Amino acid sequence: MIGFPLFPEVASTVATGVDRLYFFLTGVTGFFTVLIFLFIFYFAVRYRRRPDRVAEQLNPDAEHKSIGLEIAWSVIPFMITLVMFTWGSSLYMANSRVPDQAMDVYVVGRQWMWKIQHPNGRREINELHVPVGQPVKLTMASQDVIHSFFIPAFRVKQDVVPGRYVTMWFQPTRAGEYHLFCAEYCGTYHSGMIGRVVVMEPEDFQNWLGGVTGESPAQTGEKLFSELNCVDCHATGARQRCPQLGGLYGSDVLLEDGSKAKFDENYIRESIINPNAKIVKGYPPVMPTYRGQVSEEQILHLIAYIRSLTPEKQQ
Ligand code: CUA
């Protein structure tokens, strides 16, 4: 775009809803800012100190109270903030739900780049290619410090925090190229941690994706699963000492202490790094930690593999 854009393009399904709320908040706060400043200037002039007024101002009996006014300026702002809260939280809830059939893309942030991997194994750095009209779910992790994945044209931004997985989704509505930023100060070259999101027509995307087919994250994960000997304990058969992992993703597992845990990305990650944190009921705490032996990317691959053991519709 030529010139200096004041406002990002509207290129995702949630963008218009987010903009409306944003304009409302800006309108309300702008209105009250102007109103308050007008009163400040008016009162400053109207009630300025004058020789004949001093005595009256110092007299405490000159104070006037108006219950009506007090109630009005408490209740009206309260109502307005309630509107903001209800509107904001319902929009947040609506936008949090990932649509079914979302395409899975894995993202790892590190100083100072975004590493991205598609379900068929195609990798890219600081670029994200997606088809128009298709919901895309990003599963993201950080290898070092906090980064933030920000696509202004889609009105989505998500902090990517080391030590846990976060997800974010969007559905692009227009083909084109859009900015991708890191929106969290992450060190010397934070400002260089930028890239682009390329939204393509579905056929073009298929061509782009089909050009290179590597191993899918789930396939890499499956290999790792046997290389790291996870398979020894987690497989069925005589050697099975640990829970089988098929069909578990997205469900609740019963733990040794009687509580339940949701079997999701963060649970899997924690069980790899700190296996004794949440022991599944009926199993001995025999699993060793893999802390330091697997990178964030490898954990993502293992998760992709473990997810693939659960049929789509159960997830
Ligand atoms: Cu990564 Cu700023």
pLDDT one-digit tens code per residue, 209-244 = 876 556 777 878 887 777 777 777 776 665 666 777
Distance CA 130, CA 109 (A): 18
**How far, CA to CA in Å, does 145 sit from each of 47, 138, 163, 187?**
55, 18, 9, 9
Distance CA 138, CA 169 (A): 6
How many A from CA of 142 to the centre of ligand 1?
10
CB 270 within 8 A of CB 261: no
Average pLDDT over residues 55-84: 81
**How far, CA to CA in Å, does 33 sit from each of 28, 39, 79?**
9, 10, 18
How many A from CA of 159 to the centre of ligand 1?
10
pTM of structure: 0.67
CB 290 within 8 A of CB 296: no
Distance of CA 282 to the CA centre of its chain: 35
Domain ranges (residues) in the chain: 1-45+98-214, 217-314
CA atoms within 13 A on the CB side of 290: 20
Q: Looking at 130-134, 163-167, 183-187, 265-269, which range is the least confident one? A: 265-269
pLDDT band at 61 (very low <50, low <70, confident <90, very high): low
Indicate the pairing of strand 136-142 with strand 147-151.
unpaired
Neighbours of 234 (CB within 10 A): 19
Does ligand 1 have an atom closer than 6 angstroms to the CB of 190? Answer: yes
Which atom of ligand 1 is closest in space to residue 112's alpha carbon?
1
pLDDT band at 75 (very low <50, low <70, confident <90, very high): very high
Nearest CA to ligand 1 atom 1: 147
How many A from CA of 190 to the centre of ligand 1?
4
Q: Which class does domain 217-314 fall in?
A: mainly alpha
Q: Is the pLDDT of residue 130 over 90?
A: yes
Does ligand 1 have an atom closer than 6 angstroms to the CB of 115? Answer: no
Does ligand 1 have an atom closer than 6 angstroms to the CB of 234? Answer: no
- Report phi then psi at 152, rounded to 5: -55, -40
CATH for the 1-45+98-214 domain, from 2.60.40.420, 3.40.50.300, 3.90.1150.10, 1.20.1260.10: 2.60.40.420
Pick left, alpha or beta for residue 126 (phi over 0 → left; psi -120 to 50 → alpha; otherwise beta).
left
Residue 64: per-residue pLDDT: 72
